Amino acid sequence: ALKEDRLKLLEGYKSFRFLKLDIKDQKDVVDLFKKESPQRVLHLAAQAGVRYSIQNPYVYIDSNIQGFINILEGCRAIKTEHLVFASSSSVYGGNTKVPFSEHDNVDHPVSLYAATKKANELMAHTYSHLYQIPTTGLRFFTVYGPWGRPDMSPMLFTKAILADEPIQVFNHGDMMRDFTYIDDIVVSVNETLFKTATPNSNFNGQHPDPATSHAPYRIFNIGNSHPIPLMQFIETIEDALGKKAIKKMMGMQAGDIKITSADTSELNQWVNFKPNTSIKEGVTRFIDWYKNYY
What residues are annotated to the active site?
113
Gyration radius from the chain CA atoms: 19
List CB contacts of 130: < 8 A, sequence separation 6 or more. none
- Helix boundaries (H) for the chain: 2-10, 26-36, 50-55, 57-60, 67-78, 112-131, 153-162, 182-193, 230-241, 265-271, 279-293
Alpha-carbon dihedral sign for residues 247, 229, 224, 215: negative
Can you tell me whether residue 54 is helix, strand or coil? helix
Q: How far is CA 254 from CA 92, 156, 229, in A?
A: 15, 19, 19
Neighbours of 68 (CB within 10 A): 21
The reply to whether omega before 199 is within 30° of 0 (cis) is no
